[in-house]
Amino acid sequence: MSAFYVLAGANHFINPAFYEPIMPPYLPYHLALIYISGALEIVVGILLIPEFSRRVAAWMLIVLLILIFPANVQMTYNYYIESNPDLWISIVRLPIQLVLICWAWIYTNSRLRDSNSPPSE
C-alpha cells in the first residue's frame, strides 16, 4: 500500500500533464493542486510504513481519497464526452476508490488491524 501511494504521488511530478485534464474545472490552480496532491500521496505513503504513524496516515489517506474523488468523476465525464475507448477503465476506478478507502480504514482501527496481524508468540 505504501509503495503504491509513493509511486502514484511521484507520478504527479513526473507526468503532471496526465492529471491536468481530469482536474474539475471549478477548482483553481490546477497545476499547484496536482503537485500538492502528489506530495500528500508521497507523505502519506511514507507515513504508512512506521507503525506509530500508520493510524494517522490511514486517516489522512481516507481524507485524501475523498478529496481526489471528483477528479476521477471528471475523468469519467471527459472520457464519456470524448467517446474515449478507456471509458470503462474510468468507470471501474470509481468503485475502486471505495475499496481503497475501506483498505485504509482497516489501519485506523486498532482492533481490526491487530486481528489481521499474525499471532504473537
pLDDT at position 43 is: 97
**Full 3-state SS string of 31-84:** HHHHHHHHHHHHHHHHHCCCHHHHHHHHHHHHHHHHHHHHHHHHHHHHHHHHCC
Instruction: Write down the domain spans for the chain.
Output: 2-115
Mean pLDDT of 40-44: 97
pLDDT at position 9 is: 97
For residue 101, pLDDT beyond 90: yes
pLDDT in tens, 69-85: 999 999 999 999 999 99
